[in-house]
Amino acid sequence: MADKLRIGIIGSGGIAQGCHMKGYASIPDLCEIVAVSDVNPETAKQAAEKFNVPTTYVDYREMLAKENLDAVSVATPNKYHLQPTVDALEAGVNVLCEKPLGMNADECRKMCRTAKDTGKILQVGLQSRFNGPSKWLKTYIDAGHLGDVYFARAQALRRRGVPGWGVFIEKDKQGGGPLIDIGVHILDLTLYLMGYPKPVSASGKAWDHLGKNPALYNSWGDYDRDKFTVEDFAVGLIKFDNGAVISLESSFMSNGPDPFSTHLYGTKAGATVTPYAPGNEGIKLFTEQDRLLMDVTPANIPHVESAHVDEVKAFVDAILHDKPSPVPGENGLILNAIFDAIYASSESGKEQQVDVSF
């Protein structure tokens, strides 16, 4: 391995430029972006010029063959996560793959098996656990202050927040709607705080009552209602092998408030975490002392400038110091397997088993 990690980018659009490449550029003494690839050569050129990257490719496979890379970020649409990730791992390259890891659990299984067989790091791009409130609460929970967390209510809700760009509304390219796009973040954070228990079953329902209606306002700009083939609202109830249960709610468009938070209920205390809240507003604790009920707001939550940058830093650190993946591919598999079960339950009306084997 060279003094600096040689980094390649697969898919160099908005998420790559705004998050991944920004993260690598923040630690120039540890890594260097040596090439970017994108099926759109103009997008690759723009990204390369923005971050002073010397080489661009249209075909990522050519980049893997020529650039002697240590790591890549896969920042393509969901439909194109699987093959670049597998190809990179098989080429001996560590991978940071954007969330969700795959379109479904079967794709994730292939990626996880490949990572295990090659011994390379596979990290999922789930930055919410790198925020200040998330980090603080994880330490607090691990110290035993909440006791056993047996229930959580996780919400990633937008009142009128359908993405008007990319392929977020096209199921054949995305795999699903808000559940798989933003629900993935709040569910990962919730599971992370709870120690990632093993799911056994899930039930749920997905609706598309509002997303196709051209008469409705959308705060993120207009979009082609005819292309809207995903759900606009989904809910799920997930059961785990340790007896815990999570209620999950996620929407792009709904007639209600728009929280992005999770509420944890433990045997000693409870907590609400809003990972992107400003200042010290991200945590509220619910506890009791001497028969006095107390709502506590911690006053010194650590500040994190950018969770996206910190997830990239964690990826680079793991490679350089032979550490486990900061967000293992197995976590991504669990998330996709849960979503598969919720979608299947919505179709069948029955509770579904969750298979996380690979």
Please give the C-alpha separations between residue 343 and each of 12, 248, 322, in angstroms, as whole numbers: 30, 13, 37
Q: Say what the pLDDT of residue 258 is.
A: 95
Summarize the confidence of residues 135-143 as an average pLDDT.
97
- Tell me the three-class secondary structure of the chain, residue by residue: CCCCEEEEEECCCHHHHHHHHHHHHCCCCCEEEEEEECCCHHHHHHHHHHCCCCEEECCHHHHHHHCCCCEEEECCCHHHCHHHHHHHHHCCCEEEEECCCCCCHHHHHHHHHHHHHHCCCEEEECHHHHCHHHHHHHHHHHCCCCCCEEEEEEEEECCECCCCCCCCCCHHHHCCCHHHHCHHHHHHHHHHHCCCCCEEEEEEEEECCCCCCCCCCCCCCCCCHHHCCCCCEEEEEEEECCCCEEEEEEECECCCCCCEEEEEEECCCEEEECCCCCCCCCEEEEEEECCEEEEECCCCCCCCCCHHHHHHHHHHHHHHCCCCCCCEHHHHHHHHHHHHHHHHHHHHCCCEECCCCC
Both structure tokens of 281: 């507003």
Report the C-alpha gap between 354 and 352 in whole angstroms.
6
Q: For residue 358, name the pLDDT band (cuts at 50, 70, 90).
A: very high
pLDDT in tens, 110-129: 999 999 999 999 999 999 99
Please give the C-alpha separations between residue 99 and each of 54, 74, 183, 349, in angstroms, as whole numbers: 27, 10, 11, 27
Q: Say what the pLDDT of residue 249 is.
A: 98
Identify any residues that bridge with 44 across adjacent strands, giving them in sequence order.
Answer: none
For residue 182, which of 198, 150, 159 has the smallest C-alpha distance?
Answer: 159
pLDDT in tens, 198-254: 999 999 999 999 999 999 999 999 999 999 999 999 999 999 999 999 999 999 999
Q: How is domain 130-304+336-353 classified at the CATH fold level?
A: Dihydrodipicolinate Reductase; domain 2 (3.30.360)
Mean pLDDT (the chain, rounded): 97
Summarize the confidence of residues 121-145 as an average pLDDT.
97
Q: Say what the pLDDT of residue 293 is.
A: 98
Q: Where are the domains of the chain?
A: 5-128+309-326, 130-304+336-353
pLDDT in tens, 269-300: 999 999 999 888 999 999 999 999 999 999 99
Summarize the confidence of residues 14-20 as an average pLDDT.
97
Count Cβ atoms below 10 Å from residue 116 Cβ, excluding itself.
14
Q: Say what the pLDDT of residue 229 is.
A: 97
Give the CATH number of domain 5-128+309-326.
3.40.50.720
Radius of gyration of the CA atoms of the chain, in A = 20
Q: For residue 1, name the pLDDT band (cuts at 50, 70, 90).
A: low
Whether the per-residue pLDDT at 328 is higher than 70: the answer is: yes
Q: For residue 44, name the pLDDT band (cuts at 50, 70, 90).
A: very high
Report the C-alpha gap between 56 and 8 in whole angstroms.
10
Summarize the confidence of residues 50-62 as an average pLDDT.
98
Q: For residue 2, name the pLDDT band (cuts at 50, 70, 90).
A: low
